[in-house]
Chain A
């Protein structure tokens, strides 16, 4: 069991800084997801834990011990690469058993373990095939099997689902969640897909441009995003972000006045108002509405409907998520009501106002 700690970790490639002052800890047995846009440094962070990249500054500790200079094999971490990194000249069995062979496990014991793991991953009939003769999903499972046979303290996954089709992605996601439950090992999982992060994670670390934007459980991030970036990145459909000014009575959103208290800013300050699509509703009458808007587009998802409507400040369309079905059509005018209990306020620098 291993707790992973980052203590003021920096990383540069030559003169290019890639990670800045990363401090966080991943508890033993936790499934932690690094999420962020492409190029933000997720893989680099993961590879530093594995010992595949040199740490430029700060300290990484595994189970309380400084690991910066620890050779990769001694860290006892297993990694599933985005491209799977299977050995093309070896069979499935040889691929999975490579680590055991290197450590001198006798052939008989090796093959028993391989058969065991292959059975749990439904690879039993494929042990003599080579990677080129497998589908993407099967290759993925071989890569996971190779990691399982190591019985590592930490499993690491670098965008493991990005080469799979949608159905397989969901299935593999479930398998990884089950693997986590069964083994109880720490897992670090990297993805740029916030839905993957939300569904899998015990804890999410949101990264942007080499900095940690926020660390928290999926619901903490959803309900209390620390800044505009996290608010915009987590949640689908995306949060509505509106420029507003603080007034004596509450907020001025363009011509619309909203009576709210506790914005956390002085009158006259510019703020950004964040409203999740499910916290906008269609009022029964115009008198109950916060403002009236025109429908631009309706997306019917069956159980729920997304309504895109003109924003009171112009610019991006507002998104409303409505339970059930509706007969709304583009061009219709609707009374929109903002639920004041679930609003997010951000200052001009993008940080959350309490």
Chain B
């Protein structure tokens, strides 16, 4: 789709598109690239020549940031929150999407619309209410505060995306399974789930990225440093080390790289899942 497979020479219009595209990509990627190579500099060098390449590549910045920031613990927390949050949202959203697209029950449309409200709410609007609820449940300052809120928060979008995909599936396979004697749950488990796997992987990846990077709830609901996730931990870390930018950049790089690698490995699935949901 992106490669020019036919032998026809490119038109000036296409060159213009490529040019504009390159500029946009550069502008968007530069801060990230800048962050990565600045992590190798010393603090003084960062101030002396902010955009130059490092004179000496200081790998020790990363070790120092890892140890001083306690990034190991933060990593573990983030992985737990992301993993369980994603599992929760995909598990419930796939069932909700199936129910909204395949079952007939009173109030179905109204409920489906209500779910969509979740797409529109900005997190700050409910942050205080959530805080009160979580305190009442005694969950403040536990990872559950983040797992439950993030998992629930992503259910709206996940249900919406999966619903579009479910709608595009031909019903005949489910009908065939029904005639073969399968019950609702068996149809869902043996027929529908395998068919929507690409879409589930897609939404799992999108949710993983969102939850990994989530900051507001992570700052609000956790006050114990040992229970922070990476983004919140880095914010605290930059508070302690406001003088040493090289360590901050190193910590940021350590935080960002895994999720980027994860995304690049999975992006083929994402593209396939999204196009499949739109096609047909």
The answer to whether A binds B is yes
For A52, what are the chain B residues with a Cβ–Cβ distance below 8 Å? 175, 178-179
Proximity bits, A75-116, B CB within 8 Å = 1, else 0: 001110101011111000000001100110000000000000
**Given that A83-B170, A83-B172, A85-B172 are known contacts, is A73 also in contact with B181, CB under 8 Å in the complex?**
yes
A213 to B194, CA, bound (A): 44
Q: Is A85 within 8 A of B175, CB to CB?
A: yes
Question: Of all chain A residues, which has the CB nearest B172?
Answer: A85
Q: What is the CB-to-nearest-CB distance from A14 to chain B, in angstroms, rounded to a whole number?
A: 14
The total of interchain contacts (Cβ-Cβ below 8 angstroms) comes to 56
Q: Is A89 within 8 A of B180, CB to CB?
A: no
For B175, what are the chain A residues with a Cβ–Cβ distance below 8 Å? 50, 52, 79, 81, 85
The main secondary structure of chain A at its interface with chain B is mixed
Q: Is B195 within 8 A of A79, CB to CB?
A: no
Given A87-B173, A103-B181, list of 17 further CB < 8 A pairs? A52-B175, A52-B178, A72-B179, A73-B182, A77-B179, A79-B179, A81-B176, A83-B172, A85-B172, A87-B176, A98-B177, A98-B180, A98-B182, A99-B181, A102-B177, A102-B190, A146-B176
For B63, what are the chain A residues with a Cβ–Cβ distance below 8 Å? none
- Top 8 nearest A-B pairs (CB, nearest first) are A99-B180, A85-B172, A73-B181, A85-B176, A89-B194, A102-B182, A102-B181, A81-B172
B22 at interface by CB-CB < 8 Å: no
30 contacts between A and B (CB under 8 A): A50-B179, A52-B175, A52-B179, A72-B178, A73-B179, A73-B180, A73-B182, A77-B179, A78-B179, A78-B180, A79-B176, A81-B172, A81-B175, A81-B176, A85-B170, A85-B172, A85-B176, A86-B176, A87-B177, A98-B177, A98-B182, A98-B190, A102-B180, A102-B181, A102-B182, A102-B190, A103-B181, A146-B176, A146-B180, A150-B181
Q: What is the CB-to-nearest-CB distance from A134 to chain B, in angstroms, rounded to a whole number?
A: 16
For B186, what are the chain A residues with a Cβ–Cβ distance below 8 Å? 102
Within B209-266, the residues touching A (CB, 8 Å) are none
For B178, what are the chain A residues with a Cβ–Cβ distance below 8 Å? 52, 72-73
A150 to B182, CA, bound (A): 12
Proximity bits, B172-202, A CB within 8 Å = 1, else 0: 1101111111100010001100110000000
For A87, what are the chain B residues with a Cβ–Cβ distance below 8 Å? 173, 176-177, 190-191, 194
A41 to B180, CA, bound (A): 24
Question: Of all chain B residues, which has the CB nearest A150?
Answer: B180
Question: Of all chain B residues, which has the CB nearest A94?
Answer: B190
A5 to B185, CA, bound (A): 31
For A86, what are the chain B residues with a Cβ–Cβ distance below 8 Å? 173, 176
A79 to B186, CA, bound (A): 19
Question: Of all chain A residues, which has the CB nearest B182?
Answer: A102
